[in-house]
Chain A
Amino acid sequence: MSGWRLPQGGRLINRDRALSFRFEGRPLQGFEGDTLASALLARGTAVVARSFKYHRPRGLVAAGWEDPCAFVEMQSPRAEPSVLATVEPLVEGLQARGQHAWPSLRFDFMALADRCSALLPAGFYYKAFKSPAWAWPWFERALRHAAGLGRLPDGAGQSDPSAYERRFVQTDVLVVGAGVAGLWAAHALAQAGARVILADDAPEPGGRGLDRPAGGVVDAWIAQTVASLDAMPHVRRWPSTQVVSRYDHGLCLAIDRSRPGHERLWRIRAPQVLLATGQIERPLLFAHNDRPGIMLAGAVTSYLHRWGVAAGRRMVLATNNDMAWTAAFEAHQVGIEVLAVADLRPQVHPQLTERAGALGLRVELGARVVAAQGRWALRSAVLQLASGQRLSVQADLLAVSGGWTGALALHAQRGGRSHYDATLHGMVPENDDAQVIGAARGAPGTPAALASAVRGAQQVASALGLRLPDLPVPAVPSEPSGFSATDLQHIGKGRVFVDWASDVTLDDLRLAHREGYESPEHLKRYTALGMGPDQGRISALHGAVLMAQLRGLSPGDLGPTRLRPPYTPMPMGAIAGADPGALIRPVRRTPMTDWHEAQGAVMYESGQNWRRPGYYPRPGEGLMQALERECRACREAVAVYDSSPLGKFEIWGPQAVELLEYLYTCRVSDLLPGRGRYAVMLREDGRVFDDGTVFRLSDQRWWITTTSAQAQAVHAALEAALQVHFKGRLEAFVTPVTDQWATLVVCGPRARELLQACDCSVGLSRGDFPFMAVREATLAGLPVRLFRVSFTGELSYEIHLPARQALALWVQLIDKGQILGLTAIGSEANHVLRVEKGFISVGHEVDGCVNPLDLGLAWAVRMDKADFVGKRSLERDLQAPAGRPALVGLLVERGEVPLEEGAQILKVDLDMDPRSALAAEQASAGFVTASVWSPSLQRAVALGLLEDGADRQGQTVWVTVTAPSGLARRPARVVPPVFVDPQGGRMRG
Chain B
Amino acid sequence: MLILTCPFCGPRNEQEFVCAGEAADRPAQPQGLDEAAWADYLYNRDNPDAPVHERWWHLHGCRAWLRVQRDPHTQAILDCSAQGQP
Contact = CB atoms under 8 A, between A and B. Distances in A.
Nearest to B42: A685
A716 interface: yes
A26 interface: no
Contact of A872 (B20, B30, B65): B30
Interface residues of A, number: 28
Interface in B38-86: 38, 42-43, 55, 57, 59, 63-65, 73-75, 82-86
Contacts of A247: 1
A729 interface: yes
A872 B2 CA distance: 36
A724 B84 contact: yes
Nearest to B11: A249
A723 B75 contact: no
Given A716-B20, A716-B57, A723-B64, A728 B30 contact: no
Nearest to A712: B59
Contact of B83 (A715, A723, A872): A723
A881 to B, nearest CB: 16
Interface string A395-414: 00000000000000000000
A867 B30 contact: yes
Overall SS of chain A's interface: helix
Given A433-B74, A716-B18, A729-B84, A723 B65 contact: yes
A740 to B, nearest CB: 16
Interface string B1-44: 11100000000000000101000001000110101001000110
Nearest to A249: B3
Contacts of B35: 876
Of A269, A684, A712, A724, most buried by chain B (CB within 10 Å of CB) is A724
A156 B74 CA distance: 41
Of B33, B35, B85, most buried by chain A (CB within 10 Å of CB) is B85
Interface string A213-248: 000000000000000000000000000000000011
A728 B20 CA distance: 18
A827 to B, nearest CB: 26
B83 A727 contact: yes
B2 A727 contact: no
Given A249-B2, A249-B3, A433-B74, A720 B30 contact: no
B75 A725 contact: no
Nearest to B57: A716
B2 A724 contact: no
B58 to A, nearest CB: 10
Contacts of A684: 26, 42
A248 B83 contact: no
Nearest to B73: A415
B2 A248 contact: yes
Contacts of B38: 872-873, 876
A719 B63 contact: yes
Of A249, A251, A727, A867, most buried by chain B (CB within 10 Å of CB) is A249
A724 B66 CA distance: 9
Contacts of A729: 84-85
Contacts of A722: 84
A800 interface: no
A871 interface: yes
A876 B2 CA distance: 40
Given A720-B20, A723-B65, A728-B83, A248 B75 contact: yes
Interface string A666-695: 000000000000000000110000000000
Interface string A713-749: 0011001101111111100000000000000000000
B1 A720 contact: no
B30 A249 contact: no
Interface string A856-877: 0000000000010001110110
Contact of A873 (B42, B83, B84): B42
A251 B26 CA distance: 36
Nearest to B41: A684
A724 B68 CA distance: 13
B57 to A, nearest CB: 6
Nearest to B26: A725
Contacts of B33: 872
Contacts of A871: 30
Given A247-B1, A248-B75, A433-B74, A724 B31 contact: no
Nearest to B77: A249
Contacts of B74: 433
Of A723, A728, A729, most buried by chain B (CB within 10 Å of CB) is A723
A314 to B, nearest CB: 54
Contact of B57 (A719, A728, A867): A719
A895 B59 CA distance: 51
Contacts of A728: 83-86
B2 A716 contact: no
A722 to B, nearest CB: 7
B20 A251 contact: no
B27 to A, nearest CB: 9
A269 B12 CA distance: 12
Contact of B65 (A249, A269, A719, A867): A719
B83 A724 contact: yes
A842 B37 CA distance: 30
Contacts of B59: 712, 715-716
Nearest to B67: A724
A726 B84 contact: yes
A706 to B, nearest CB: 16
Contacts of B73: 415
B35 to A, nearest CB: 6
Contacts of A433: 74
A247 B3 CA distance: 11
A727 B85 CA distance: 7
A247 B75 CA distance: 10
Contacts of A876: 35, 38
A715 B84 CA distance: 17
Given A872-B33, A876-B35, A249 B75 contact: yes
A728 B64 CA distance: 11
Nearest to B1: A251
Contacts of B30: 867, 871-872
B85 to A, nearest CB: 3
Nearest to A718: B63
Contacts of B64: 723
A685 B44 CA distance: 13
Contacts of A867: 30-31
A720 B21 CA distance: 13
Contacts of B26: 684, 725
Interface string A897-925: 00000000000000000000000000000
Contacts of B84: 722-724, 726-729
A872 to B, nearest CB: 4
Contacts of B82: 723
Contacts of B31: 867, 872, 875
Of A716, A729, A872, most buried by chain B (CB within 10 Å of CB) is A872
Nearest to A726: B84
Given A723-B85, A729-B84, A876-B38, 15 more contacts: A247-B1, A248-B1, A248-B2, A249-B1, A249-B3, A684-B26, A685-B42, A716-B59, A723-B65, A724-B84, A725-B26, A727-B83, A728-B83, A728-B86, A872-B30
Interface of B: 1-3, 18, 20, 26, 30-31, 33, 35, 38, 42-43, 55, 57, 59, 63-65, 73-75, 82-86
Interface of A: 247-249, 251, 269, 415, 433, 684-685, 712, 715-716, 719-720, 722-729, 867, 871-873, 875-876
30 contacts: A247-B1, A248-B2, A249-B2, A249-B75, A251-B1, A684-B26, A685-B42, A712-B59, A716-B18, A719-B57, A720-B20, A720-B57, A723-B64, A723-B83, A723-B84, A723-B86, A724-B55, A724-B83, A724-B84, A726-B84, A727-B84, A728-B85, A728-B86, A729-B84, A729-B85, A867-B31, A872-B33, A873-B38, A873-B42, A876-B35
Query: Which 5 pairs of residues, A with B, have the shortest CB-CB distance?
Result: A728-B84, A728-B85, A872-B30, A727-B84, A248-B75
